[in-house]
Structure 1
Amino acid sequence: MADLAPEVARIPVEERLRDSFDEMVVYKNLKESNFISAFKLPSFMRDWVLKRFEDENGNIDVEEATEFIKEFIPKKEDWKSIKNRIINYQESVKFLAKISIEINIKTQELSFALPDFGLGFKDTVIPRPVWEACSEDLLKAEENWGVVELGYQYPVDKKNPGKIKLMSFKDFCPYSIDLDEFKEARKYFTLDEWIDVVLGAIDYNAAGYENKIQKLAVITRLLPFVERRLNMIELAPKGTGKSYLFGSVSRFGWLSSGGTMSRAKMFYDIAKNTEGLVANHDYVALDEVQTINFKDVDEMRGALKGYMENGKYTVGNHEGNGDAGIILLGNIPADDMNEYVDMFQSLPKVFHESALIDRFHGFLKGWNLPRMNDGLKICGWALNSEYFASIMHILRDDPTYRAVVDALVEVPDKADTRDTEAIKRIATGYLKLLFPCVTKPDEISSKDFMRYCLKPAMDMRGIIKIQLGIMDPGEFGGKSVPDLRVKSLEA
């Protein structure tokens, strides 16, 4: 990438940020006790509220924002009250929710579900006029965030019982996102400045980190946000912010903490005839994975191996596919923070097989990250988390970056295909996150590509390879990642 023009470099970063991204920038103050934190909103939703009620100087109308949150962002425990208003008082109620729809093949009936409130398809209906008006937004994805308006359809007889009906739906994202504009805006920042911009977008204060290694470790966590089916393991000390980042930054991911995980929940539920987590999300992060109970170890292991290899799964007679990456997040004692010892011994039994571990593309050394503290919380102008999460989601579908990686990477003869694919996939993710304006091989220097994309990808895959050698020395002992290099593109 070319250096910034002197006249651009002289402009303060904050000013460039606001000029380049305009209304996509919000003022975040997470260092101080903030009224909005009391509502425990995920960051993508919090920034949506901030954007709605902040003035151009970052001042927020606390009273209006509070009333809006109370009225339009109910908690799960508010659902009975909402039902009471709809059914017994015939009110129409509007609020922000995640919605999925179902089209019945036999009856042509249209229904919806609100998974966060436990409202299922059998108790709902979408009238035809509402469907005609809202179907485009409702069909954008398997699940969509938006403002739903609910009313009640009275029972007619036993065959036609009462149901909650959808009266209107407005998409959560109130603006269009232009990926080309995002790519162009990246050109007005140096790499170091851009790293800080990305950290601010996910609520972190770049100045709170000791060095670039720590900053890049945080950004590494975002790889599954931008790259399809990127499978990753992170072991880290407690308190480094794993749960927050995977659970709050993006509305397109899923964080599962503890409890029981079954094949039905992960892939497909035969009894309910519903797709599982991998079909509806960009990633499925298993937090505190040591505490998760896998219902049927052999069944889950078999399903995971097939899915992580090619994105497909078969449950009974149902064949499905998904694009979600599988992320393992676990805490690790200080004595085990070493890739040359068995770090996976405390993982659940389902992961005690080398063939499954081999399907994880890379390992993130979470011990390179500091414990969360007030100095790491953003206080200043930053990219709207909801906007940035949407950008990352869109980047998953952009094939340009993989084409650049394929053009730049030289693969030695007889290199292991699984290793090569893992490294290229991780390098592609880094390219999207750090150099989104690069669309051709000659737009990034060989030095930058090697240092920030290819080398870290090889290191991440290398740790998986070392652990495989410890786990299964007969199959993987003494094997290392292929020596991938950057091609010379000179004529």
Structure 2
Amino acid sequence: MSPLDQKILQHFPGLVVRKDLTKGLKQNAVVPTYVLEYLLGQHCATDDNEVIKAGLESVQKILAKHYVHRNQAQLVKSTIKEKGRHKVIDKLTVELNDKGGFYEAEFTNLGLKKVPVSDDFVRRYPKLLVGGIWCITDVTYEVAEDPKASPWQIDTLKPIQVASVDYDQFLTARAQFTTEEWMDVLMQSMGFNPEMFGRRAKMLTLIRLIPYCERNYNLLELGPKGTGKSHIYAEFSPHGMLISGSEVTAPKLFVSNSSGKIGLVGYWDCVCFDEFAGKDKKVDKALVDIMKNYMANRTFSRGIEQLTAEASMVFMGNTKKSVAYMLKHSHFFEPLPDKYIDSAFLDRIHAYNPGWEVAPIRHDLFTNGYGFVVDFIAEVLKHLRTEDFTGAYKQHFEVASEVSTRDQTGFEKTFSGLMKILFPDGKCTPVETEELLAFSMESRRRVREHILRIDDTFKRHDFIYRPLSGGAPVTVLTPEEIQYPTFAGQRTQQAVNGEPGPEVHEDIPPAAEPSPATPTTAVADEPQPGHVVIPENTKGWSYRRLFAKHLTGARSITICDPYVRMFFQARNLMEFLQMVHDLVPEGDEVTVHLRTQSDPDSCVKQAENLDQIADSFAGSRIAFTWEDDPSPNFHARNITTDTGWKITIDRGMDIFQRYETGPFSLAQAMQEARLTRGAEITYFKV
């Protein structure tokens, strides 16, 4: 176990589970994650392998014996009849029989309908009435004298959920973890391996939890397929409902005027619309109007009566166009159905999460470590809905620009949600507060900037905050504005070029070409001293973009990097040398020498890899050599040329996150398609 796993078990005994156990069971049982982890938490919440093994067998037996598969429904019914009683795990939905004045349950997999259910169960678990709940239920069978009566009866009913949460104890345990450790705990609880995510990537993932802990929070996330956008809303909490965006109706979502039955927003903390994007989706304009009112005021009407609800709205959909294309030709709302591309509706979105920055789901992204039983953290997040941290940043910062009320509400609700998730006790440093505030303002700015592209009646303004302790005001820009200033607009171009105005939150690379689309022009320019900041989780970067101008014309290049040891680091070196090879005119030759260090655990393989690289370039335009430098103070990473340039790189050439490989992987074939790790590069003449 990792030190973090040991710490989780120490401070949250009985409330954690090894996440790979859930994944293993999930392959054989079509039940939500919180159902499996409820059972695993009762039998496998330990680090004792023997106990885990025995507990896993118990859970498998329980599922095998009591979970109802649709194709075995008749067999289970026969078992209940023969035994008179049998415990089943199934999803129950309850409806009121208007004429009889009693409630009737329907078993999703078992197929039983109109089974009488006690009023007491319905009062205790009202979500039975909307969407249904997974339960462990004792079902009995007895032929009744009245032929119209159901022979099936529900004797006991227990929702699969944590019985209670000691919130004060939770806060005490949370205080034992650093911020970085706590982010990793939450990532593991969501099923992800935190080592595979940078800090920004973790923030982009954790923002998906805000709808569970913030009332009436409206989140939009559009991105490529396969990034796990809807995973959190389908599996993470019994308080969330995932529905298809094209299947929802006004009565189902809000209220049926004919029956008076309250819809999903009245019973669930979070309603997620999956597959929300798509021009071919049929959309009811009346539903859009009702949603606009609800998202702004938390109210909807039943006739002349106004009703309120607290459910957050999440909209998830796929994009097919690149970020640069949407910036140049349209806007980030372009994939949505036309009736939802309504500035009044979009202005109610509190945050736009850039799904294109999220890596596609791969096997190595999942964790084998310990995380919370998801139902426990779901109950904690539900409790946090009663807290309010919207103004917590005001003791350190003030908003220095004239933002609209909706903009301020948007980023303050995002800030409040992130505070609840990461700092539920409200205690964080000014630096941590600034990180959350800047991220929250960026998430809302993305909404505002692209509303301006479809409705010029909205007022333009910047998102600026100022430290109360002194210092220059900071303008928050989105990463895509910084990366593609030409496409983002002249106003952004002026801000990032340092013209009169407040300080910019991010740096635009002065030594790189304006965009990946124009590398030839950029290489032709004279190289200049400068500093480049590569934002984390962005695309469009390559070795050619970063180094070509400063390496063109060199006949001798020296690379100093003590960490060219692992296979992926050798692969990075190979791609760098390929780029240099392309810069060398036919008939010329460039010598490239690498100074690195070996690792006792990998030195043999390291030498093999580097020797293979040297052999592969033999007879080409590159003469590659390398040496193992044992100097104890060898830490700096840089590139020097015989033309007088020195390029310092804080990460060396390791600027890309891991990506999916294979013969049809665009990321493998083209560096610009890879997500970056945060890095800084400085160019200067020696």
* Conserved 8 A contact 2:16-2:370: yes
1:450 corresponds to which residue? 434
**Unpaired segments ≥5 residues, structure 2:** 471-686
TM-score of the two chains, using structure 1 as the length reference: 0.83
2:635 corresponds to which residue? none
Q: Following the alignment from structure 2 to structure 1, what is the Cα–Cα distance between the partners of residues 269 and 437?
A: 23
1:69 aligns with 2:51: no
Aligned pairs (5 A) from 1:68-467 = 68-79=62-73, 81-83=75-77, 89=82, 91-99=84-92, 109-112=102-105, 114=107, 123-127=114-118, 131=120, 137-138=124-125, 144-152=133-141, 157=146, 161-162=149-150, 164-209=152-197, 211-257=198-244, 259-270=246-257, 273-291=260-278, 297-316=284-303, 319-336=306-323, 340=327, 341-399=330-388, 401-402=389-390, 404=392, 410-411=398-399, 415-438=403-426, 443-451=427-435, 453-467=436-450
Aligned AA (2:440): A
Q: How far apart are 1:354 and its partner, in Å?
A: 0.3
Aligned AA (2:172): E
* Conserved 8 A contact 1:235-1:366: yes
Q: 1:478 to 1:403 in 2, by over 3 A?
A: closer
Deviations 1:126-152 (A, max 9, x none): 357xx3xx5774358866543222235
1:6 corresponds to which residue? none
Q: Following the alignment from structure 1 to structure 2, what is the Cα–Cα distance between the partners of residues 24 and 68?
A: 20
Q: How far apart are 1:221 and its partner, in Å?
A: 1.4
Aligned AA (2:433): F
Aligned AA (1:14): D
Q: Following the alignment from structure 1 to structure 2, what is the Cα–Cα distance between the partners of residues 389 and 262?
A: 27
Aligned AA (2:458): F
Q: How far apart are 1:253 and its partner, in Å?
A: 0.9
| Larger helix proportion of the pair | 1
The one of 30, 34, 58 equivalent to 1:44 is 34
**For the aligned residues, what is the CA RMSD?**
3.3
Aligned AA (1:46): L
1:28 aligns with 2:7: no
Aligned AA (2:59): A
* Conserved 8 A contact 2:192-2:367: yes
* Conserved 8 A contact 2:68-2:109: no
* Conserved 8 A contact 1:230-1:425: yes
Match of 2:387, SS?
Answer: coil
* Conserved 8 A contact 1:286-1:329: yes
Q: How far apart are 1:25 and its partner, in Å?
A: 1.6
1:14 aligns with 2:8: no
Q: 1:114 to 1:322 in 2, by over 3 A?
A: farther
Q: 1:402 to 1:307 in 2, by over 3 A?
A: same
Q: Following the alignment from structure 1 to structure 2, what is the Cα–Cα distance between the partners of residues 437 and 415?
A: 28
Q: Following the alignment from structure 2 to structure 1, what is the Cα–Cα distance between the partners of residues 441 and 325?
A: 17
* Conserved 8 A contact 1:76-1:117: yes
Q: How far apart are 1:38 and its partner, in Å?
A: 2.1
Q: How far apart are 1:103 and its partner, in Å?
A: 7.1
Q: How far apart are 1:72 and its partner, in Å?
A: 2.8
Q: How far apart are 1:378 and its partner, in Å?
A: 0.7
1:470 corresponds to which residue? 453
Q: Following the alignment from structure 1 to structure 2, what is the Cα–Cα distance between the partners of residues 262 and 282?
A: 18
Q: Following the alignment from structure 1 to structure 2, what is the Cα–Cα distance between the partners of residues 137 and 165?
A: 18
Q: How far apart are 1:232 and its partner, in Å?
A: 0.9
Q: How far apart are 1:218 and its partner, in Å?
A: 0.9
Aligned AA (2:242): L
Q: Following the alignment from structure 2 to structure 1, what is the Cα–Cα distance between the partners of residues 70 and 280?
A: 25
Identity %: 23
Q: How far apart are 1:317 and its partner, in Å?
A: 5.7
Q: 1:329 to 1:71 in 2, by over 3 A?
A: same
Q: Following the alignment from structure 1 to structure 2, what is the Cα–Cα distance between the partners of residues 141 and 402?
A: 33
Size of the alignment, in residue pairs? 461
Q: How far apart are 1:219 and its partner, in Å?
A: 0.9
Deviations 1:433-464 (A, max 9, x none): 111122xxxx322221111x211111011000
* Conserved 8 A contact 1:259-1:292: no
Aligned AA (2:451): L
Aligned AA (1:12): P
Match of 1:370, SS?
Answer: coil
* Conserved 8 A contact 1:469-1:479: no
| Worse-matched range after superposition: 280-289 or 111-120 | 111-120
Q: 1:338 to 1:69 in 2, by over 3 A?
A: farther
Q: Following the alignment from structure 1 to structure 2, what is the Cα–Cα distance between the partners of residues 276 and 97?
A: 22
2:53 corresponds to which residue? 60
Q: 1:36 to 1:237 in 2, by over 3 A?
A: closer
Q: 1:34 to 1:444 in 2, by over 3 A?
A: closer
Match of 1:47, SS?
Answer: helix
Match of 1:242, SS?
Answer: coil
Match of 2:369, SS?
Answer: strand
Q: Following the alignment from structure 2 to structure 1, what is the Cα–Cα distance between the partners of residues 102 and 394?
A: 47
Q: How far apart are 1:23 and its partner, in Å?
A: 0.9
Aligned AA (2:15): M
TM-score of the two chains, using structure 2 as the length reference: 0.61
Aligned AA (2:448): K
* Conserved 8 A contact 1:43-1:386: no
Match of 2:331, SS?
Answer: coil
Q: Following the alignment from structure 2 to structure 1, what is the Cα–Cα distance between the partners of residues 110 and 300?
A: 28
* Conserved 8 A contact 1:50-1:60: no
Higher normalized contact order (CA 8 Å, seq sep 6+, divided by chain length):
1
**Unpaired segments ≥5 residues, structure 1:** 1-10
| Worse-matched range after superposition: 223-232 or 170-179 | 170-179
* Conserved 8 A contact 1:36-1:46: yes
Q: 1:446 to 1:40 in 2, by over 3 A?
A: same
Match of 1:233, SS?
Answer: strand
| Worse-matched range after superposition: 293-302 or 346-355 | 293-302
